[in-house]
Amino acid sequence: AKAPSLPYRVGHGFDLHRLAEGYKLIIGGIDIPHTKGCEAHSDGDVLLHTVTDAILGALCLPDIGQLFPDTDPKWKGARSDIFLKEAVRLMDERGYVLGNLDCTIIAQKPKLSPHKENIRNNLSALLNADPSVVNVKAKTHEKVDSIGEERSIGCHAVVMLIRKDL
> Site for ligand CDP (CB under 6 A): which residue of 87, 107, 136, 155?
107
Indicate whether 100 belongs to the interface with ligand CDP (CB under 6 A).
Answer: no
Q: Are 89 and 82 in contact (CB under 8 A)?
A: no
- Residues 6+ positions from 154 with CB-CB distance below 8 Å: 14, 15, 16, 46, 105, 106, 107, 141, 147
Nearest-CA neighbor of 129 among 101, 95, 109? 101
Helix (H, G, I), strand (E, B) or coil at 91: helix
Q: Binders of Zn ion among 42-101, rule CB under 5 A?
A: 49
> Site for Zn ion (CB under 5 A): which residue of 9, 13, 15, 96?
15
Per-residue mark of binding to ligand CDP, 129-158 (x: CB under 6 A):
---------xxx------------------
Using CB under 6 A, list all residues that contact ligand CDP. 107, 111-113, 138-140
